[in-house]
Chain A
Amino acid sequence: MGFNFKNDTPIYLQIIEEIKKLIITGKYLPEQKLPSVRDFSASFCVNPNTVQKALLELESDGLIYTERTSGKFVTNDLTVIENAKNEAIVKLTLNFLNEAQTLGITKQIIIDIIESESDL
């Protein structure tokens, strides 16, 4: 697989986003065991230390936890996952609004588009 990294952002931040996405969308379920650092590293085609750094950060955010001998798991705290999801939505929306603003698109135009595409 591998995935296309953006060039101007540190790779570990992009891996954090990628794993978050997998948790938020339920590809990795609460309490599910995560692939090992080496497996992640091979499937993303990135350096193992970079994966390690990303996992440490996800752990300090509480999205994953380490079971001393058996590896890393997705949290069973649904609120934490829900919060991460909300954060992601807010971030996505703000990015979009910023982009729209640079194109000179007003809030009303955006609302109109959303309403005309309301079957989304």
Chain B
Amino acid sequence: MNVLQINNLNKSFQNKQVLKDISFTIKPNRIVGLLGKNGCGKTTILKIVNDLLTKDSGSVLVMGNPISVETKKLISYLPERSYLDSDSKVIEVIKFFETFYSDFNKDKARKLLKELGLDENARLAKMSKGMKEKVGLVLVMSRSAKLYVLDEPLGGVDPATRDVVLKTILSNFDDGASMLITTHIISDVESILDDVIFINDGKIILQGEAETLREEHGASIDEIFRRLLK
């Protein structure tokens, strides 16, 4: 069964159509990159999948179920902007997640915090942007979900930390689960992607297996995308 199946998805804000006939599927055990420039519609797709926006038309199925409270249990979502209360300590946020999500593994979260060098007694307000992002990532990766949805997970992370974050992503998602990652800096995540979906101006302009595309074009995914937008 497909982890995510989107067919002919359309969405407009007032008079502007932001998603035009979007269709793609995510099979189990795949890491999929949703790639495009800022403002191309990536986050809108993620918000619809996470029931934060409603679609105008088309269908969105998560493990065969239409979007509902039930599908929220299957998805672990890292939004681009943190919604965590910055007056909280990290450990308080961990406890909050433990109460909120039945599939949250507190021990795993504490282990990951340690691995990423984060102090669980620190207050979020005192942390840098990159540190807060890592806390968000730890929370999301400590759930045992079917689909992990990460919106720009490397946004505030410096290049030296990039590999650590990618490693955390790679070693902490469940077998049989899949991942949908958005980024506008393709080279950052290129090596971990199974499949890529290029979006421009609300439309899918190319999708396929990353290795096949590299072979066919004799170029990196990053380079292919640049050529497409020329």
Contact of B215 among A5, A10, A47 (CB under 8 A): A10
Bound CA span A10–B193, Å: 12
Q: How large is the interface on A (under 10, 10 to 19, 20 to 34, 35 or more residues)?
A: 20 to 34
Enumerate A45-71 residues with CB–CB distance to B below 8 Å.
45-50, 53
Is B95 among interface residues, defined by CB-CB distance under 8 A?
Answer: no
Bound CA span A8–B211, Å: 10
Q: How far is the CB of A10 from chain B (nearest CB, A)?
A: 5
Which residues from A are CB-within-8-Å of B170? 38, 41-42, 45-48
Query: Could you tell me if A2 and B163 are in contact, using CB atoms closer than 8 angstroms?
Result: yes
Contact of B167 among A10, A42, A50, A53 (CB under 8 A): A42
Query: Could you tell me if B214 and A45 are in contact, using CB atoms closer than 8 angstroms?
Result: no
Enumerate B181-224 residues with CB–CB distance to A below 8 Å.
191-194, 210-211, 214-215, 218-220, 222-223
The secondary structure that dominates the B interface is helix
Is A11 among interface residues, defined by CB-CB distance under 8 A?
Answer: yes
Bound CA span A12–B209, Å: 13
- Closest-by-CB residue of B relative to A14 is B191
Query: Could you tell me if B218 and A8 are in contact, using CB atoms closer than 8 angstroms?
Result: yes
Bound CA span A48–B172, Å: 12
Which residues from A are CB-within-8-Å of B215? 10
Which residues from B are CB-within-8-Å of A2? 163, 166, 191
Which residues from B are CB-within-8-Å of A11? 191, 211, 214
Is A102 among interface residues, defined by CB-CB distance under 8 A?
Answer: no
Is A9 among interface residues, defined by CB-CB distance under 8 A?
Answer: yes
Is A7 among interface residues, defined by CB-CB distance under 8 A?
Answer: yes
Query: Could you tell me if A45 and B211 are in contact, using CB atoms closer than 8 angstroms?
Result: no
Query: Could you tell me if B171 and A42 are in contact, using CB atoms closer than 8 angstroms?
Result: yes
Q: How far is the CB of B208 from chain A (nearest CB, A)?
A: 13
Q: A10-B211, A47-B170 are in contact. List 10 more A-B contacts (CB 8 A).
A: A7-B214, A8-B214, A8-B218, A38-B171, A42-B170, A45-B191, A46-B170, A47-B191, A47-B210, A53-B211
Q: Which residues on B are within 8 Å of A, measured CB to CB?
A: 29-31, 163, 166-167, 170-171, 191-194, 210-211, 214-215, 218-220, 222-223
- 5 smallest CB-CB distances across A and B, nearest first, come from A7-B220, A10-B211, A42-B171, A2-B163, A42-B167
**30 pairs across A/B with beta carbons < 8 Å?**
A2-B163, A2-B166, A2-B191, A7-B214, A7-B219, A7-B220, A8-B219, A10-B214, A10-B215, A11-B191, A12-B211, A42-B171, A44-B191, A45-B163, A45-B166, A45-B167, A45-B170, A45-B192, A46-B191, A46-B192, A47-B170, A47-B191, A47-B192, A47-B210, A48-B29, A48-B170, A49-B29, A49-B30, A49-B194, A50-B194
